[in-house]
Structure 1
Amino acid sequence: MSVQGLSVRFRAAGGRQVAAVTDARFDLAAGECLALVGESGCGKSVLASALLGLLPRNAEVAGRAVLQDGLDLTTAGERILARTVRGRRVGLVPQSPATHLTPVRTVRAHMKETVRALTGVRRAGLRPAVEAAATRAAYPLDHLDRYPHELSGGLAQRAATALALVGEAPLLIADEPTTGLDRDLVERTVDELRTHADRGHGLLMITHDLAAAARIADNVAVMYAGRIVEISKAHRFFGDPGPRHPYARALLDALPERAFTPIPGTPPPLTSLPSGCAFAERCPRADTRCVTRPEFAGDLACHHPEQPRA
């Protein structure tokens, strides 16, 4: 998939406008995993919803998101998205899986329907296919006949992952796929997602879990206040020379296993973003140049990029 100039605006009360995503640009090749990281509220999940046409009516989307077969997701229309894209060409592990499951149907019923629709398996083959899908996502077979309200957050997450993997979609969007999981299950889940990518599929993983991203990502995109501010090879981002944008460097330094230093301040509201660099008020490197917005040049948007670590 190639995303070029993708922006999302929400019309709010009183004529206000929420700039949820601004000019997002990235490419995701077959067989690759791109981890999209950043603080809560920076626009990561809105970007994912825009790709699948799942935004509310007060949303306005601009830009392009073109799949390998040439389909532009931003202009495809609900009929095409519902019939040929969602689950088939683009799979989704939703951020809040419990709310995406029908409350009056068991997990087994969800999986049967999905297996029938996406693989064509019928009758005698349904039970083993459902159990294989559940096992792939570490979902316990003795919980298949439970209803969504009977699931813990971790179980709901594993059920959603199992459903998303059934169709072997060429592109998989996993929005916080490790929420509610202990570390062993986190590693098992992201390893299965990595296996999906290794089969020649694209994987866009939206996550706060930088350890999970470091485990499976090929590339990392850092988002702040609705904008992608840095894209880096994962081995450079998590190793040497490290991130170049001060915000990206601060994200890593906030980890307990690193400097454990919190980022001072809070992100600006998306209803009143500054005309210059949105991170300037929190950045120790900011100066008068930062009153103008840095352009995203190839892989970085910053007037004062960090120097490589010693």
Structure 2
Amino acid sequence: MNDLGRLRVRDLSVTFRVPGALVRAVSEATFEVRPGRCLALVGESGCGKSVLAHALLGLLPANASVRGRAWLTCGEQPAEPVELIGAPQAVLAGKVRGRAIGLIPQSPATHLTPVRTARAQLREAVRELRSHATADELAARFGLRPEELDRYPHELSGGMAQRVANAIALAGDPWLVLADEPTGGLDRSLVDRTMATLRELCDEGRAVLLITHDLRAAERVADDLAVMYAGRLVETGPVAEVLGRPRHPYTAGLVAAQPDRAFVPVPGLPPELTRLPPGCAFRPRCGRHTERCATVPAMDGGVACHHPLGGRHA
């Protein structure tokens, strides 16, 4: 794989205009995904993780407004990065989707054509994207037997449908894989197998942006971690550091909620994205908040918090 690839995202914001309200789904997200590395984006359901991924591919509905920038550099255009935000659909469809970026979608059953077998759909992806691998080879990588490819989507279990979607995402030999909850509906053994495959992709020189709420899976496969709360990144850094010594109170709450830890849920509920509280959105759930938290904290040293853990609680 080409070692010049990189995804850079700067101040990416996504809002949706709905009747009587504005949904602030993503707010000023900044991060990079580099070759040979996996960045895991974690957070509670509804915090904007999937919206961010779809914004990069131009797959948002017409009522979405996207600001900020995202550049993709890969082997085909090493000197001229592709600007993803605002790119024409012809560019995204012809150069990016499936070719430079492969998407493993959430709820894969809704992405499969119901009247065609899994084999037919995987073969079509192989043909259109000019893959060097066969449908059976791609399927085998995710634990699918050849006879399972001859089933229609309604005959597939949720786990099988997820594995078909995973195989289709790799058909074009993409440099970057956006994996949106790729382990949904899978038992633990298949979760481990899928995570191992994503790790192999990184070890081959590709990059992976993993969207998940499974901290155990993220810890196994990721190099770097980005924690999102109410549409905003609140902590970033190497996965071992973030999970081993969390500095944001929300990150600490996610870690403590794991079965192998205190198994205590984060108190309270996330705010509605149409009615975000002023300042730090985590303030209503945080026992460390002060008057300073009425202003939005900047990302400083990998944490966006006025009173990070390990620092002075003023």
Q: TM-score, normalised by structure 1?
A: 0.94
CA apart distance, 1:25: 0.4
Rounded Cα–Cα distance in structure 1 between residues aligned with 2:89 and 2:232:
26
2:38 aligned partner: 33
Residue pair 1:245, 1:301 contacting (<8 A) in 2 also: yes
Give 3-state SS (helix, strand or coil) of 1:167's partner.
Answer: coil
2:17 aligned partner: 11
CA apart distance, 1:263: 0.8
Q: Does 1:86 align with 2:97?
A: yes
Question: What CA deviation, in whole Å up to 9, does each residue of 1:192-212 have, x standing for no partner?
Answer: 011111111110000011111
Rounded Cα–Cα distance in structure 1 between residues aligned with 2:92 and 2:112:
19
CA apart distance, 1:298: 4.6
Q: Does 1:67 align with 2:72?
A: yes
1:295 aligned partner: 298
1:116 aligned partner: 127
CA apart distance, 1:120: 5.2
CA apart distance, 1:275: 1.7
Rounded Cα–Cα distance in structure 1 between residues aligned with 2:103 and 2:43:
19
Rounded Cα–Cα distance in structure 2 between residues aligned with 1:119 and 1:285:
54
Residue pair 1:30, 1:197 contacting (<8 A) in 2 also: yes
Rounded Cα–Cα distance in structure 1 between residues aligned with 2:182 and 2:158:
11
Rounded Cα–Cα distance in structure 1 between residues aligned with 2:144 and 2:171:
13
Q: Percentage identity across aligned positions?
A: 57
Q: Does 1:153 align with 2:158?
A: yes
2:4 aligned partner: none
CA apart distance, 1:119: 2.5
The correspondence for 1:24, drawn from 3, 25, 29, is: 29
CA apart distance, 1:76: 1.2
Rounded Cα–Cα distance in structure 1 between residues aligned with 2:262 and 2:15:
36
CA apart distance, 1:5: 0.5
CA RMSD of superposed structures (Å): 1.2
Rounded Cα–Cα distance in structure 2 between residues aligned with 1:206 and 1:100:
18
Rounded Cα–Cα distance in structure 2 between residues aligned with 1:297 and 1:79:
38
1:193 aligned partner: 198
* Matched letter for residue 78 of structure 1: Q
Rounded Cα–Cα distance in structure 1 between residues aligned with 2:301 and 2:159:
38
2:3 aligned partner: none
CA apart distance, 1:259: 0.6
CA apart distance, 1:118: 1.7
Give 3-state SS (helix, strand or coil) of 1:180's partner.
Answer: coil
* Matched letter for residue 209 of structure 1: D
Task: Show structure 1 runs of 4+ deviating over 3 A.
Answer: none
Question: What CA deviation, in whole Å up to 9, does each residue of 1:212-234 have, x standing for no partner?
Answer: 10001000000000000110101
Residue pair 2:225, 2:236 contacting (<8 A) in 1 also: yes
CA apart distance, 1:149: 1.1
1:158-197 to structure 2, matched below 5 A, reads 158-197=163-202
CA apart distance, 1:136: 0.5
Rounded Cα–Cα distance in structure 1 between residues aligned with 2:27 and 2:301:
16
Q: Structure 2, unaligned stretches of length 5 or more?
A: 1-6
CA apart distance, 1:152: 1.0
Rounded Cα–Cα distance in structure 1 between residues aligned with 2:50 and 2:303:
21
* Matched letter for residue 167 of structure 1: G
Q: TM-score, normalised by structure 2?
A: 0.93
CA apart distance, 1:297: 2.4
